[in-house]
Structure 1
Amino acid sequence: MAVKSEPTRILVLGGGYVGLYTALGLQKKLRANEASVTVVDPQPHMTYQPFLPEAAAGSIEPRHVVVPLRRVLRRCHVLTARVNKIEHERKTVTVEAADGHIEQLGYDVLVVALGSVARLLPIPGLAEEGIAFKTIGEAIYLRNHVLTKLDEAASTLDPDLRKRLLTFTVVGGGFAGIEALAELEDMTRFATRYYENIEPEDIRWVLVEAAGRILPEVRDTLGVWTVEQLEKRGIEVYLSTAAKSFENGHVVLSDGTEFDSDTIIWTAGVKANPVLAQSDLPVDKRGRLQATAGLQVVGHPDVWTAGDVAAVPDLSKTEKDPTATCPPNAQHAVRQARHLAKNIIRVLRGGQPVDYYHKNVGSVASLGLHKGVADTFNIKVKGFAAWVMHRAYHVKAMPTFNRKVRILLDWMLGGVLRREVVSLGQINNPKEEFARASKS
């Protein structure tokens, strides 16, 4: 009697765009006992990052922009743990579980979908004063932080402190920075109607960008138009300007500008997850995994990768630039993940991987409620129409029918009842009142 072989062990590192969509594709296509799939991520959910600005501004309930991994990956094993080391020669991954213990996981097929982290520069005070904008926790914190600053400014008698509290600084003019800035500025402007002693013109929003333009993903004219729209709203935009220091909340820019700000939002780029430095897999000069167009790691056909962590050749551009790689954005991550799952199935069943090819169809960005900018199919769209396109595209891309419906309901209720602008400041220090009670 023949002995039945064990199912192929597929280990997916990361539960973001690539990890979730790859696992979803695998659990849908795999036959019974063909393979087991384990997904490892330090968070029990996937975060749809394009909706973080709206979650921070109160247009969407924060829980609705995350997808619970265990709920949707019912045919997969989900392990809440942080990856510490990859040893492909031994086919093991070292992880630190949620309770703190260390263990090693074996695999037959590895999917590295660890994504990216904020790229910090050696600027004095940045680590102490700055806050990134990549996680749902950071979005919730920023919402409460910004609204708390309005509360503090409304109650202080010190004019210098009031000015500092009402000064908000965003560093980075890419999509993440512009959308965070626009949505949060829109929220603070709306919130001032509930403060007797704060007017919209009292609030100062500042954008700092080292390059000579913003939104490099769209054509130059749309970038210029966006700057003009931001400046019409009273937002100060510093282009071709670098941040020199943030020590003690005192912002110093390369053009000599100085001011105090209690809020410094850092969105100036990302880098591949630094765990790759603790692996024996090949990386490029930017620290990303060297990948083939078929989404396999170069020289390792049993290791797959995609998304921000991978340097995937951009076949739509390689004729002009042989070194071109796909940009680290959600559009490519989602499409690569779906393609990746299909390729793994093909190889498991004796076939060959198919190269990933996707020509970027354009970009859309929200500039606050009813305002947006889009550059799609070589067509420029501005204002309300672009805002509608932004919402339509991202609700379509949001994983699971459950989350799509919840987000649509949030938007409908917000349109009728208006957004909530209350600060839940106690979230940032939930034990403060308990500690006070214990001393009384």
Structure 2
Amino acid sequence: GGYVGVELAANLARACESASVSLIHRAGSLLPRAAEFSRNEAQRQLADAGVTVILDTAVSQVSEGALTLMPQRASSSSMAPPGGEGTELEADLIVWTAGTQPSAVVAALGLPTDSSGRIAADPMLRVSGRPSLYALGDAAVVQGAHGGAVPSTAQAAMQQADYAAWNIRAALRAQPALAFRYTALGETLSFGKDAASVAALGHLIKLNGRLASAARRAVYAARMPTPQQAVKVGLSWAVDAAFGAVRKAVTPPRSNP
């Protein structure tokens, strides 16, 4: 029921219209860290795609072709599990999207880590006890300048990269380092072809549908490291769109049984 699970469920359901897709989440609501607009749009898109959402439920066991559901608490919600404790749900494909884990490379470095195995760094992105080393992204746990935990997202990592580069240069020049200040620019979600949501700049920008899909792609292209990569990404999307239009034009409409 996080970002990856919601996006994957919606995209799978729309790509494989004949398939029955279920999304299982152990909490009582989807996307707990997302903006309210994103949560509402995700629920609407999942319903529109025909995804069965099962809340307040954990997966206690995964076996070949099935998984066992374990209710977390009594629920009268229409999205409650389809049975009691130990309910088995058959499936042809099971995709696990719960939680994250640092790479084994991080543990092999022998650097100080937190309880989750991520490298411990100070607000200047310096590894604890190793001021000449810097750590950032989802391999590190960083306390921002205001004391709050920094999310393990690509958006945060890209901002940290600028600070790390600045602080390395400052260290070489014996200048003061800058404490990392995370700026939440917004979030985008993809729910399938021409289906997306954009929530940015607080409550100022809220987009959905085709406009959100186009805006989301524009943001990704603009954030590519080089103009050449941005052009390649744009051309790839253009070719996909062209082939999709041709395929739609030559495919006969489905007849109702």
Q: TM-score range by the shorter chain?
A: 0.7 to 0.9
For residues 65 and 223 of structure 2, the distance between their equivalents in structure 1, rounded to whole angstroms, comes to 38
Asked if 2 retains the 8 angstrom alpha-carbon contact of 1:374 and 1:381, the reply is yes
Q: Name the SS of the counterpart of 2:113 in structure 1.
A: coil
For residue 186 of structure 2, what is the aligned residue in structure 1?
A: 362
For residue 410 of structure 1, what is the aligned residue in structure 2?
A: 236
Matched, 1:337 2:177: no
Matched, 1:184 2:12: yes
Asked if 1 retains the 8 angstrom alpha-carbon contact of 2:144 and 2:179, the reply is no
Q: How do residues 201-216 of structure 1 correspond to structure 2 at under 5 angstroms?
A: 203-216=19-32
Q: Give how far 1:181 is off.
A: 2.3
For residue 92 of structure 2, what is the aligned residue in structure 1?
A: 262
TM-score by length of 1: 0.49
For residue 114 of structure 1, what is the aligned residue in structure 2?
A: none
Q: Give how far 1:335 is off.
A: 1.4
For residue 386 of structure 1, what is the aligned residue in structure 2?
A: 212
Q: Structure 1, residues 19-62: CA drift from partner, whole Å, max 9, x if none?
A: xxxxxxxxxxxxxxxxxxxxxxxxxxxxxxxxxxxxxxxxxxxx
Q: Name the SS of the counterpart of 1:408 in structure 2.
A: helix
Matched, 1:231 2:56: no
For residue 177 of structure 2, what is the aligned residue in structure 1?
A: 353
Q: Name the SS of the counterpart of 1:374 in structure 2.
A: strand
Instruction: Return the match for 1:248 from 58, 64, 67.
Output: 64
Letter of the 1:409 partner, please give it: L
Q: Give how far 1:279 is off.
A: 4.1
Give the direction of change, closer, same or farther, for the CA distance of 1:400–1:221 in structure 2 (3 Å limit). Answer: closer
Give the direction of change, closer, same or farther, for the CA distance of 1:398–1:215 in structure 2 (3 Å limit). Answer: farther
Q: Which has the higher contact order (CA 8 A, sep 6+)?
A: 1
Give the direction of change, closer, same or farther, for the CA distance of 1:393–1:241 in structure 2 (3 Å limit). Answer: same
Asked if 1 retains the 8 angstrom alpha-carbon contact of 2:9 and 2:51, the reply is no
Q: Structure 1, residues 375-433: CA drift from partner, whole Å, max 9, x if none?
A: 21122332223222221211112222222112211221222221899xxxxxxxxxxxx
Instruction: Return the match for 2:134 from 304, 307, 327.
Output: 304
For residues 345 and 419 of structure 1, the distance between their equivalents in structure 2, rounded to whole angstroms, comes to 50
Letter of the 2:10 partner, please give it: A
For residues 89 and 244 of structure 2, the distance between their equivalents in structure 1, rounded to whole angstroms, comes to 33
For residue 222 of structure 1, what is the aligned residue in structure 2?
A: 38
Matched, 1:374 2:198: yes
Letter of the 1:328 partner, please give it: S
Asked if 2 retains the 8 angstrom alpha-carbon contact of 1:213 and 1:224, the reply is no
For residues 243 and 325 of structure 1, the distance between their equivalents in structure 2, rounded to whole angstroms, comes to 28
Give the direction of change, closer, same or farther, for the CA distance of 1:178–1:399 in structure 2 (3 Å limit). Answer: farther
Q: How do residues 26-425 of structure 1 correspond to structure 2 at under 5 angstroms?
A: 173-189=1-17, 200=18, 203-220=19-36, 222-255=38-71, 256=83, 257-315=87-145, 318=146, 322=147, 324-379=148-203, 380-418=206-244
Asked if 2 retains the 8 angstrom alpha-carbon contact of 1:217 and 1:363, the reply is no
Letter of the 1:405 partner, please give it: V
Runs of 4+ deviating beyond 4 Å: none
For residues 219 and 302 of structure 1, the distance between their equivalents in structure 2, rounded to whole angstroms, comes to 37
Letter of the 2:123 partner, please give it: A
For residues 123 and 59 of structure 2, the distance between their equivalents in structure 1, rounded to whole angstroms, comes to 37
Letter of the 1:292 partner, please give it: D
For residues 37 and 12 of structure 2, the distance between their equivalents in structure 1, rounded to whole angstroms, comes to 24
For residues 221 and 258 of structure 1, the distance between their equivalents in structure 2, rounded to whole angstroms, comes to 33
Q: Which has more radius of gyration?
A: 1
Q: Give how far 1:235 is off.
A: 0.9
Give the direction of change, closer, same or farther, for the CA distance of 1:420–1:345 in structure 2 (3 Å limit). Answer: farther
Letter of the 1:249 partner, please give it: G
Asked if 2 retains the 8 angstrom alpha-carbon contact of 1:183 and 1:367, the reply is yes
Unpaired runs of 5+ residues, structure 1, are 1-172, 190-199, 422-440
For residues 225 and 356 of structure 1, the distance between their equivalents in structure 2, rounded to whole angstroms, comes to 32
For residues 246 and 6 of structure 2, the distance between their equivalents in structure 1, rounded to whole angstroms, comes to 22
Letter of the 1:284 partner, please give it: D
Aligned residues: 231
Asked if 1 retains the 8 angstrom alpha-carbon contact of 2:120 and 2:127, the reply is yes
For residue 76 of structure 1, what is the aligned residue in structure 2?
A: none
